[in-house]
Amino acid sequence: MKNRQSEIAVALKVRPPFTGPDEVQAEIRRRVAFIQQCLRDSGMKTLVLGISGGVDSTTTGLLCQRAVSELRAAGEGADYRFIAVRLPYAVQHDEDEAQLAVDTIQPDECHTVNLHGMVQGLVAATGELENLSPAMRDFVLGNTKARMRMVAQYTIANARKGLVVGTDHAAEAVMGFFTKFGDGACDLTPLTGLVKNQVRTLAAALGAPEQLVHKVPTADLEELHPGKPDELAHGVSYRDIDAFLLGQVVSDEAAQTIIATYDKTAHKRQLPKEP
């Protein structure tokens, strides 16, 4: 089991624990520089990111806004922009926290795209959800929402010659906790390799309010369970996931759950199969 623990950590590029404030600031600078280089390499001038109100998108948004602000300040181009996109489905249950995230990030632009009409239009057009059980219908609809979120972001990014930014990190990647070709589709992932508590640490260092830093993580895709905590879906806590990825001791039960989920969701972390 220890070998698998190490193998998975290496595959997900897990960063070691931060040793102090200086290392946290160095990590922020490294990830901001990564975002800036992605823009330079692509020739694009715009970053597009969906803002949910959780710590992951808040942290990523703060990194993105700093990246483009520094590029402008350095004289590399006054046309560098960061666009935050709100993507509610009808009325978001934690709307206040989503707005707090936007207010904290202070993006160059903020767009709102309500997904309800387009999701329901697709559901009606396919007719595939009609005979499903309520639980299965809710599951499929949740993945459709996630994919529509990405369609909206790429539509804006294409129109503005920009890149779409993702929020995936090691603690979500190991659990396959993203929708394939939904929130798993993007052009760059600045949080790669970080465990959940490291994301929170960066958020706090970037000035995010405590309310968002320590907010209970939720994908908020299920109508039958609005705001369902990630940990309930995982069957294991983020504390255990973080510890596992950092090579620390966790219970056999937690380790087995994490490894089994990692193996089961391997297809999500791979490119499409080829002959």
Residue 82 and residue 108 in contact, taking contact as beta carbons nearer than 8 Å:
yes
CATH of the domain at 40: 3.40.50.620
Instruction: Give a yes or no: residue 77 inside a domain.
Output: yes
Cα–Cα distance, 63 to 118 (Å, whole number): 30
| List of residues 6+ apart from 194 with CB closer than 8 A | 15, 169, 170, 171, 202
Q: Which two tokens stand for residue 84?
A: 């935050």
Banded model confidence at residue 92, pLDDT cuts 50, 70, 90? confident
Angstrom CA distances, 14 to 149, 173, 250, 275, stand at 27, 11, 17, 31
Does residue 274 belong to any structural domain of this protein?
no
pLDDT at 78: 97
275, part of any domain = no
Would 76 be classed as within a structural domain? yes
- Determine contact, residues 54/20, Cβ cutoff 8 Å: no
CA angle, residues 219, 220, 221, in degrees to nearest 5 = 95
pLDDT digits over 170-201, tens only? Answer: 999 999 999 999 999 999 999 999 999 999 99
Domains identified in the chain, total number: 1
Structural domain boundaries enclosing 135: 2-269
CB 261 within 8 A of CB 6: no
Query: Around 13, how many Cα atoms within 13 Å sit in the side-chain half-sphere?
Result: 8
Q: Answer yes or no: is 221 within a domain.
A: yes
Do the domain assignments include residue 176? yes
pLDDT (mean) for 122-147: 93
pLDDT band at 222 (very low <50, low <70, confident <90, very high): confident
Whether the pLDDT of residue 259 is over 90: the answer is yes
Q: Hey, which residues are catalytic here?
A: 56, 172
Supply 195's token pair.
């465990």
Whether 225 is in a domain gets the answer yes
Cβ atoms within 10 A of the Cβ of 7, count?
Answer: 12
47 has which bridge partners?
82, 163
**pLDDT tens, residue by residue, 12-61:** 999 999 999 999 999 999 999 999 999 999 999 999 999 999 999 999 99
